[in-house]
Amino acid sequence: MSAPWWERDGDVCWHPYTQHGVEETLLPVTGAQGAWLELADGRRMLDAVSSWWACLHGHGHPRLVEAIATQAATLDHVLFAGCTHEPAVRLAERLAAAAPAGLTRTFFSDDGSTAVEVALKACYSAAARRGEKERTLFVALEGGYHGDTFGAMAVGDPDPFFDEFGSLLFRVVRAPPDAAALEALMAEHGAQTAALILEPIVQGAAGMQSVAPDVVRAARRLCDEHGAFLVADEVMTGFGRTGTLFACEQAGISPDALCLSKGLTGGMLPLSATLFTESIFEAFRSEDRGRMFFHGHTYTGHAIGCAVALASLDVVEADDTPARFEAIGARVSARLDALLPDDGSVQRRRFGGIVVVELDGDGGYLDAAGPRLKAACRTHAPDVLLRPLGSVLYSLPPACTTMEECDLIAERMAAVLTAAR
């Protein structure tokens, strides 16, 4: 008799960000509903990390399921080069209406990395098309993470993810997430800069580190002063995670390009969107076919993805999803504070629905505290899915999470931190 499928995984699958030489047994997930995952052994686990920050409203949301089924029966997919369809047009209209002012054009792709690739290529080419071919440099923040394709790797912080690819990546200069440091860096490199890219308000993979509103405002001002484009990577922070629909709102700025994915479809299907100003779009409009934007994906503007994204936006508006995340984060944080009084041994922070506790350590994704935290999660949080980032333990659950479920998350986080310290 054949072994169960979850045991056969080890013979055929290669998992992302997983060291198969030491990784613990994988969780065999057979179903999901609301905030809960169902496992092959009958257990249920609360998805406190929204399945890599993507599940926006909860698993299996009926309005999203219905949208997928209806669209699949009508039009599943057609190439978006030379064709168009209603779901894509309606979604582009909705995004332009909801996004920060001035972002009028949407280029669809597949995931967060490709959304960033689109932004980088378009900004670089737009600068060249307006005659500024000296702008061959990108500026980014230390600790930034923007995806795993080559352009996204180049603007991400190389340590520890991308060091070995250094000789293959284009030139990027980085500043800490500090307004004065950004000002000094742009004073030196602004004339050669095509674009500055950042994750507004919070850097995800860096351990949920803060990028304060004044830093985001400084980035906008400096790009204006030096003639560079500003790219906001809101792949994680978009659609309410930080308590506002887009994190840029907390700084009161509009970028020149806005990268969206993850929660765009409620986490149900891979789809991304890069929104641009009309001036960037116009840099490519010409009677010369050689000046078009040479970029595309097989599933650009995927009809089913666009349909479920429209349904997700309906739910965001009907449920006031940003307010729900704010209430969820406040409840988890308050309960955690009651269970784990602040004795100065840990750092605490919250961004809307994201609650973060950081142990003292060397910092970074490979911090020695990471294995201790992961082991403590298995033992002390068997019914809550938590995935530490190095020395950082965080929760980022879907918007359907109840107050009682928030309390459960906080209780398990407190138990994990107590055991790991």
Active-site residues, by number, are 17, 145, 233, 262
The secondary structure of residue 164, as a DSSP letter, is G
Q: What is the largest CA-CA distance in the chain?
A: 69
Nearest to 273 by CA among 86, 111, 77: 111
Q: Is the peptide bond before 160 cis (omega within 30 degrees of 0)?
A: yes
Three-point CA angle 280, 201, 121, nearest 5°: 25
CB-based burial, 76-100: b 16+ in 10 Å, e otherwise: ebeebeeeebebbeebbebbeebbb
Give the Cα separation of 242 and 202 in Å (integer): 8
Neighbouring residues of 185: CB distance < 8 A, sequence distance ≥ 6:
139, 173, 174, 175
**Tokens of residue 156, six digits:** 């991400």
> Which residue type occupies 327?
A
- 281-287, long-range: CB < 8 A, 24+ apart: 281/104, 281/105, 283/125, 283/126, 283/129, 283/130, 284/122, 284/125, 284/126, 284/129
The secondary structure of residue 148, as a DSSP letter, is S
The secondary structure of residue 99, as a DSSP letter, is S
Please say whether the beta carbons of 195 and 229 come within 8 A: yes
Radius of gyration of the chain (CA): 21
Give the Cα separation of 172 and 421 in Å (integer): 37
Give the Cα separation of 313 and 238 in Å (integer): 12
Q: How many residues does the chain have?
A: 421
**Tokens of residue 244, six digits:** 């506002």
